[in-house]
Amino acid sequence: MALDYKYLSKEHLKGFDKYKYNSIDNSPLSMYVMHPFWNWVVQYVPMWVAPNLLTFVGLLLIFLLYGILAYLDWWFYCSNRKIPEYPVIPSGIWYVCAACLFTAHTLDGIDGKQARRTGSSTPLGELFDHGSDSVVAGLLPLALYSIFGKGMEDFGANSWIFYAIAWNIVGQFFISHWEKYLTGVLFLPWGYDFAQLAMALVYILTGFFGYEVWKGHTYFGLQFNYIFIVSVFAGSFLQALPQSILNIYRSYKDGTGKNRSFYDAAEPLIPIFLLFITSFAWGWFSPTDVMDKDTRTYCLTFCLILSNITCRLIISQMTDTRAPYFNHLLLVYMITALVCCCTNFGPWELYILYIIFAASCVIHFHYGVCVVRQLCTHFGIYAFSLKKPPKNHVK
């Protein structure tokens, strides 16, 4: 498969040429703790290091974190004491996970600062950063599940709770960029830094005390797994989502946003709505209960497809072009789910899920690489180096 396919139109490229980054981060944790820390850290980064390289290393660290836990605990049973045949994850692994997460979060915080230090800020940097985050948003909740384990009988969670939490995280990430599509401003969520630091702390506590520390009740009689579940949804539905709606309302009221029509504003929600309905229906009506059989692959699949949809939305809001309401990868997923729900393939349904997951990985990887290469050619830059390419490499 060629990696020079042109996904971006001339209209997209013209939009990137005019793009100016605009964001607001008024979180107290960010302003008074994280940004001062990142300003201190970035001083020690060599001036020859490209910002995108920092972003990419952070992404690789998340892949490492996720890959280790997926290898050791693919089925989420290692923290379920009722199923002793699955070995416990070594305590040292949790410290590695904490280090990977904190380092990745730090790199994500300093890549933009490094771009400004080196005078190498381009729209590609923002797109690469947020595109990577769209993948990470689906991996982090799946990695955290291994702490509590699968199974309500041992203070864990069932596959539907895993499904709901994954959708909550990736859905909120999509909403934040839909918000920018309408307002022209990226309002960085207050809970983002807090959630990253909290997850790193949970990994450290799990390594020190063992996963058993979460298997029980608090002093107030509440189960830790319920506290985790409620916290995730409360953060989205009581803080992040209302704030996004308020920001959109203000932009229309004040005339400071894009002032898109109702149809144009709602159009980007069509693919995410179809994806949610399809993933829910397949899990609910599956003749073989495919989501429960392999919860990890099931959640990864729709998270990857949503990442692809989100990346296309990010490109649209950066280039001020109309967001696509149609996605070929989504169409394939919908047809696959429909066929599986209407036909009992028996054990083959799980293999069909694996095929659509593998296809999603390949297609999304191809899309990402081609877009990065196309923008590198357009701007006359390298993705991971501050050196300038030969003139014949430029548009």
DSSP string, 144-201: HHHHH-B-GGGT-B-HHHHHHHHHHHHHHHHHHHHHHHHHSSEE--THHHHHHHHHHH
Residue 221: per-residue pLDDT: 80
Residue 143 and residue 66 in contact, taking contact as beta carbons nearer than 8 Å: yes
Residue 305 and residue 333 in contact, taking contact as beta carbons nearer than 8 Å: yes
Output the CA torsion 300→123→185→191 (10° steps): 40
Average pLDDT over residues 95-113: 98
Distance from CA of residue 214 to its chain's centroid?
25
Query: Which residues have a Cβ under 8 Å from the Cβ of 256 and sit 6 or more positions away?
Result: 183, 184, 250
> The pTM is what?
0.96
Average pLDDT value for the chain: 96
Residue 3 and residue 383 in contact, taking contact as beta carbons nearer than 8 Å: no
Asked whether residue 186 carries a pLDDT value surpassing 60, the answer given is yes
CA angle 26, 143, 191 (to 5 degrees): 15
Average pLDDT over residues 52-80: 98
Q: How far is CA 378 from CA 6, 207, 247, 373, 387, in A?
A: 11, 47, 33, 9, 15
Residue 376 and residue 125 in contact, taking contact as beta carbons nearer than 8 Å: no
Q: Where are the alpha helices (DSSP H) in 210-261?
A: 224-234, 241-254
Asked whether residue 53 carries a pLDDT value surpassing 60, the answer given is yes
pLDDT band for position 393 (cuts 50, 70, 90): low
Q: Amino acid identity, residue 174?
A: F
Residue 327 and residue 309 in contact, taking contact as beta carbons nearer than 8 Å: yes
Average pLDDT over residues 25-37: 94
Residue 114 and residue 51 in contact, taking contact as beta carbons nearer than 8 Å: yes
What digits encode the pLDDT tens for the residues 336-390? 999 999 999 999 999 999 999 999 999 999 999 999 999 999 999 999 999 999 8
Q: Considering the chain, what percentage of its residues have pLDDT values greater than 70?
A: 99
Asked whether residue 154 carries a pLDDT value surpassing 90, the answer given is yes
> What CA–CA distance (Å, rounded) separates 92 from 204?
9
Average pLDDT over residues 73-86: 96
pLDDT band for position 204 (cuts 50, 70, 90): very high
Beta-carbon neighbour count of residue 107 at 10 Å? 24
> What CA–CA distance (Å, rounded) separates 74 from 69?
7
Beta-carbon neighbour count of residue 109 at 10 Å? 21
Q: How far is CA 225 from CA 114, 158, 197, in A?
A: 39, 11, 18
Residue 303 and residue 172 in contact, taking contact as beta carbons nearer than 8 Å: no
Residue 95 and residue 203 in contact, taking contact as beta carbons nearer than 8 Å: yes
